[in-house]
């Protein structure tokens, strides 16, 4: 490579480095706009598809009512006219009128296209039935006229049904494409946010000489995270809801490939929904100190058993021996949802970082008046330098990055916030290359005045 070419590449790299944050903010804003717009379009298209589907069902109901009404002509010829038959036909005629009114109420243009044929058939059918009541006979010419009117009406109804089916075949793929685009844009947004936070942490721009600026930047960042998280939660909830609507739809016949695509979209949407929840939880701790808790009596041993069993499939997939030793008091005072979240984070972390064939031991106990929850693994251990940053938000150890272990660096920060809210403590003991042990100590009862209810 020539010196000139190397200088050009160097200038390009310098330009990119200086404007990296700006580009990331532009990417985040564009991704947010695209996610919200795609989710909105997808929602509108799915709603339109649902309206079309319901109109198709109404049109089919009208066709069924017409066939039911026509059956009375055959019954008159076979059995004659009776009071019961007259009453039944009157009810069938009312049902047919109601079905036509339902079609007209939701699509006046469609009803106008079949209205003349419908009225002609109903008038001819009623005239035939009344004539049969009077004479007991129906002429062949009149029967042929009735058949022509019925055939014309059924043909028009079938045309409307086929038209609605064509609209659904076009609208449903477009809606799925919009929802997939929304999930992709949301994933890109979350990735850009995490990248921004990591760049800020590594740059070391915030130090003791700029404490006021650091506080302001932190506040703006958390407001940005909270705002983006709230804006993401609404379209993600809409996406998940409409995905459930598509999956539960019995009219739309999805191929196996389409069902696979929808499963991928749903899985990633749920993952993003969980990540947004974590971001909102972190924003809550920054804004108001401790988390608000729903305090109640909790059976810690039962809760630990439930969380360990939930994690067992992940351990079995890596052939990790997962053991639980129970010894906590029967009941403690705490928030069962938050305590379960804390246990999930610690146990899942131990499984993720333990090599195949290793061991993870979970233990509950009572020590010096405090309740103990402990998770020990035979993983690679944590260096002293990394231990100092373990509970920082968005921190990921070099080992996690090198091994491409999935995560956002929020799990242990959330765990510490939960423990702090319960007026407890969390510590870690580790030897590089041997093991790691996370130990949580909690009081059996809570000071209600110290924790927001």
Task: Give the CATH number of the domain where residue 354 resides.
Answer: 3.30.565.10
Residues 144 and 260 in one domain: yes
Global pTM reads: 0.45
Domain end point (choices 288, 317, 347): 288
Has residue 448 been placed in a domain?
no
Residue 449 in domain: no
What distance in Å separates the CA atoms of residue 104 and residue 24, rounded to the nearest whole number? 52
Angle between the N-to-C axes of helices 256-288 and 211-248, in degrees from 0 to 180, rounded to the nearest 10: 150
* Helix, strand and coil in the chain, % to nearest 5: 70, 10, 20
> What integer is the mean pLDDT of 216-238?
63
Residue 453 lies in a domain: no
Rounded CA separation 82/84 (Å): 5
Q: What is the pLDDT of residue 181?
A: 80
In a domain, 302, yes or no: yes
Inform me whether the pLDDT recorded for 304 exceeds 50: yes
pLDDT digits (tens, 9 = 90+) for 337-366: 889 988 988 998 889 888 888 999 999 998
Same domain, 234 and 379: no
Would you state the torsion angle of the CA atoms of residues 311, 445, 330, 421, taken in this order, to the nearest 10 degrees?
Answer: 0
CA distances to 9, 67, 96, 103, 124 from 112, rounded to whole Å, are 69, 20, 16, 10, 19
Residues 313 and 241 in one domain: no
Q: Answer yes or no: is 203 within a domain.
A: yes
* Cβ atoms of 419 and 425 closer than 8 Å: yes
* Number of structural domains found in the chain: 2
Please give the pLDDT value at position 206: 46
The answer to whether residues 271 and 346 belong to one domain is no
CA angle, 105 then 108 then 110, to 5°: 115
Please check whether residues 245 and 300 belong to one and the same domain.
no
pLDDT of residue 47: 80
Range of the domain at 373: 296-443
DSSP character for 249?
-
Q: What would the two tokens of residue 358 be? A: 């290793």
Position 376 in a domain = yes
Mean pLDDT across the chain, nearest whole number? 77
Q: Which of 121-130, 250-259, 413-422, 435-444 has the lowest mean pLDDT?
A: 250-259
Give pLDDT tens digits for 32-78. 787 777 777 777 777 887 888 888 888 888 888 888 887 877 676 66
pLDDT digits (tens, 9 = 90+) for 157-169: 888 888 888 888 7
76-90 pLDDT, tens digit per residue, is 666 666 777 778 888
C-alpha span between 312 and 350 (Å, rounded): 12
- CB 52 within 8 Å of CB 107: no
Q: Which is more confidently placed, 324 or 41?
A: 324
Give domain status of residue 356, yes or no.
yes
pLDDT for position 363: 92
CA distances from 435 to 317, 320, 361, 365, 376 (A): 20, 14, 11, 20, 7
**Residues 1, 7: Cα–Cα separation, whole Å:** 10
Q: Parallel, antiparallel, or unpaired for β 321-325 and 370-377?
A: unpaired
CB 326 within 8 A of CB 357: no
Label residue 28 by pLDDT band (50, 70, 90). confident
Is 404's pLDDT higher than 60? no
Residue 452, in any domain of the structure: no
Same domain, 235 and 303: no
What is the predicted pLDDT for the residue at 439?
Answer: 92
Instruction: Say if residue 319 is in the same domain as residue 263.
Output: no
- The pLDDT value recorded for residue 223 is 64
From 27-31, 250-254, 261-265, 416-420, the region with the lowest mean pLDDT: 250-254
pLDDT-based confidence at residue 377 (cuts at 50, 70, 90): very high
Residue 350 burial (C-beta neighbours within 10 Å; 0-12, 13-18, 19+): buried
* In the chain, % of residues over pLDDT 90: 9
| Cα-only R_g, the chain | 34
- pLDDT, one tens digit per residue, over 286-298 is 655 567 778 889 9
In this structure, the answer to whether residues 428 and 316 fall within a common structural domain is: yes
Q: pLDDT at position 452, please?
A: 43
Single residue among 288, 310, 327 that ends a domain in this structure:
288
Confidence bin at 319 (pLDDT 50/70/90): very high
On whether both 343 and 226 belong to a single domain, the answer is: no
Do residues 89 and 76 touch, judged by C-beta distance below 8 A?
A: no
| Least confidently predicted of 378-382, 401-405, 417-421, 429-433 | 401-405
User: 251 pLDDT band (50/70/90 cuts)?
Assistant: low
249 and 319 housed in the same domain: no
Count of other CB atoms within 10 angstroms of residue 198: 14
Cβ(311)–Cβ(341) below 8 Å: no
What is the per-residue burial (b if ≥16 Cβ within 10 Å, else e) of 62-91?
Answer: bbebbebbbebbeebeeeebeeebeeebee
Residues 197 and 346 in one domain: no
- Boundary (domain end) residue, out of 269, 288, 307: 288
Helix (H) or strand (E) holding 332: strand 332-334
Say whether both 76 and 141 belong to one domain: yes
Mean pLDDT, residues 272-297 taken together: 68
pLDDT band of 449, cuts 50, 70, 90? very low
Least confident of 112-116, 157-161, 180-184, 238-242: 238-242
């Amino acid at each position: 490579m020539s010196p000139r070419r190397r200088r050009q590449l160097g200038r390009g790299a310098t330009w990119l480095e200086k404007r990296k944050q700006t580009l990331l903010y532009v990417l985040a804003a564009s991704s947010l706009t695209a996610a919200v717009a795609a989710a909105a379009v997808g929602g509108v298209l799915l709603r339109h598809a649902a309206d079309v589907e319901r109109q198709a069902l109404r049109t089919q109901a009208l066709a069924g009512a017409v066939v039911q009404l026509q059956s009375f002509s055959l019954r008159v010829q076979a059995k004659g006219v009776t009071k019961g038959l007259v009453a039944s036909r009157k009810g069938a005629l009312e049902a047919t009128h109601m079905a036509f009114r339902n079609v007209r109420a939701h699509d006046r243009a469609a009803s106008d296209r079949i209205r003349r044929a419908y009225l002609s058939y109903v008038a001819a059918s009623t005239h035939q039935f009344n004539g049969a009541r009077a004479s007991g006979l129906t002429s062949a010419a009149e029967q042929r006229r009735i058949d022509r009117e019925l055939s014309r009406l059924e043909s028009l109804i079938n045309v409307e049904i086929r038209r609605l089916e064509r609209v659904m075949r076009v609208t449903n793929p477009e809606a799925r494409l919009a929802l997939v685009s929304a999930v992709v844009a949301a994933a890109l947004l979350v990735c850009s946010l995490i990248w921004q936070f990591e760049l800020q942490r590594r740059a070391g721009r915030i130090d003791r000489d700029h404490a006021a600026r650091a506080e302001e930047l932190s506040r703006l960042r958390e407001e940005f995270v909270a705002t983006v998280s709230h804006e993401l939660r609404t379209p993600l909830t809409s996406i998940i809801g409409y995905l459930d609507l598509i999956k539960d739809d019995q009219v739309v016949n999805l191929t196996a490939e389409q069902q696979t695509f929808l499963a991928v979209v749903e899985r990633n949407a749920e993952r993003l929904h969980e990540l947004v929840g974590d971001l909102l939880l972190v924003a809550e701790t920054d804004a108001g100190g401790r988390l608000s808790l729903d305090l109640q009596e909790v059976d810690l041993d039962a809760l630990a058993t439930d969380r360990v069993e939930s994690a067992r499939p992940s351990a079995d997939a890596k052939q990790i021996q997962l053991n639980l030793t129970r010894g906590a008091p029967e009941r403690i005072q705490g928030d069962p949802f938050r305590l379960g979240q804390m246990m999930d984070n610690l146990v899942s972390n131990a499984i993720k970082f333990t090599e195949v064939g290793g061991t993870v031991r979970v233990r509950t106990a009572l020590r010096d008046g405090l309740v103990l929850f402990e998770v020990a693994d035979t993983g690679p251990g944590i260096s002293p330098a990394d231990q100092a940053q373990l509970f920082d938000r968005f921190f990921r150890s070099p080992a996690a990055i090198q091994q491409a272990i999935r995560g956002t660096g929020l799990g242990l920060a959330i765990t510490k916030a939960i423990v702090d809210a319960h007026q407890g403590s969390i510590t870690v003991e580790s030897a590089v290359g041997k093991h790691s042990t996370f130990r949580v100590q909690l009081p059996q009862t809570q000071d209600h005045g110290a924790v927001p209810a």
